Amino acid sequence: MLALLSFLLVLSTAPPSLCDRPPFRVIHLLRPQTGSSDGPNVHGLSCLSWRLAVETDNIRDWDTVPMECEAYVGNYMLGHQYRKDSAAVADEAIAYAKGLEVGRDGKDVWVFDIDETSLSNLPYYAKHGFGAEAYNSTSFNAWVLEGKQPALPETLRLYKEVLRLGIKVVFITGRTKDQTRVTGANLKNVGFHTWIKLILKGSSDSGKTAVVYKSERRTKLVESGYRIVGNIGDQWSDLLGTNTGNRTFKLPDPMYYIS
């Protein structure tokens, strides 16, 4: 008891905490000042920590956004931060692409994922809890079949640059073949007007994880002589596996997880 008391005394007379001194002050200033507080706690994590752990693939195989973080994720997606984070990815990808020596044989390709990479389902998710509601394939597929997804502006910027540099575009998506026509039309309508391959899941792919399916399709590309110089997606399953490409770029997506 005495020991505890004297310990408390030491604490109360201690100099100002480290957090009050530089350089911590500087780090503190980096916190968003408006529009995106780190939200409530979920299992002892702030929503910001949860999102970071999700983006870094440290938290895996999660089903839905924690209820406590619905407003936080919505705020992130609809506020400026999602756009800024996507722009940072596109800027790096463009700088990398510009440094490539593109072959004259037309065999250099860049792989683009579609959902939450080229086309945005944010209008759908905004009405369905930003990923806090359980995935509903019926209503989601109905939304896809409307063919009204907007482009992700930052990915469109990368896409145009990639084409300008003479790199060919391949889309590989977890969408199924019955959605080929609507997907192609939607891509064209929003500015993705050309590609050499638009690869969708066939019946023989059902049951495969995205990592396996996408790896197989990339391997096929490489076996037919293409060089995958770049690969961009919002899921780690777009970017892991075999023949991932010379560089991969991960876009933010705190709304859902596909293994």
Ligand X SMILES: *[C@@H]1O[C@H](CO)[C@@H](O)[C@H](O)[C@H]1NC(C)=O
Question: Which does residue 136 touch among ligand X, Mg ion, none (CB within 5 to 8 A, set by kind)?
Answer: ligand X
228 SS3 class: strand
Give the residue with the Cβ less far from Mg ion, 154 or 234.
Answer: 234
Q: Which is nearer to ligand X, 56 or 136 (CB)?
A: 136
Q: Is there binding between residue 136 and ligand X (CB under 6 A)?
A: yes
Comparing CB distances to ligand X, the nearer of 14 and 134 is 134
Among residues 46 and 124, whose Cβ is nearest to ligand X? 124
Q: Which stretches of 57-167 are assigned E, i.e. beta strand?
A: 108-112
Q: Which of residues 199-258 bind Mg ion (CB under 5 A)?
A: 234
141 binds ligand X (CB under 6 A): no
203: helix, strand or coil: helix
Closest approach of ligand X to the CB of residue 246, in Å: 4
Q: Is 120 in the site for Mg ion (CB under 5 A)?
A: no
Residue 204 dihedral angles phi and psi, to the nearest 5°: -75, -10
- Shortest Å distance, C-beta 142 to ligand X: 7
Site string for ligand X, 188-227 (x = CB under 6 A): ----------------------------------------
Does the footprint of Mg ion cover residue 115 (CB under 5 A)? yes
By CB under 5 A, residue 116 contacts Mg ion: yes
Picked from Mg ion, ligand X, none, the partner binding residue 234 (CB below 5 to 8 A depending on kind) is Mg ion
Closest among 71, 70, 47, 67 to 59, alpha carbons compared = 47
Does 113 contact Mg ion by CB under 5 A?
A: yes
**In which region does residue 105 sit, left (phi positive, over 0), alpha (psi from -120 to 50) or beta (all else)?**
alpha
Contacts of 129 by beta carbon, 8 Å cutoff, 6+ apart: 65, 70
Interaction of residue 139 with ligand X, rule CB under 6 A: yes
CB of 63 to Mg ion, least distance (A): 17
Q: Return the residue of 194, 209, 246, 259 that touches ligand X, per CB under 6 A.
A: 246
Quick one: tokens of 124?
């759908």
Q: 170, 121, 107: which is closest to 149 by C-alpha?
A: 121
The DSSP bridge pattern shows strands 197-201 and 168-176 to be: parallel
251, 234 in Cβ contact below 8 A?
Answer: yes
Cα 105 to chain centroid distance, Å, stands at: 31
Q: Which of these, 258, 255, 234, lies nearest to 122 by C-alpha position?
A: 255
Nearest residue to 155 via CA among 233, 247, 258, 246: 233
Is 45 or 211 the residue whose CB approaches Mg ion more closely?
211
Task: Identify the residue among 138, 203, 204, 224 touching ligand X (CB under 6 A).
Answer: 138
**Does residue 70 belong to the site contacting Mg ion (CB under 5 A)?**
no
Strands 108-112 and 45-46: unpaired
Residues that bind ligand X (CB under 6 A): 136, 138-139, 246
Residues that bind Mg ion (CB under 5 A): 113, 115-117, 234
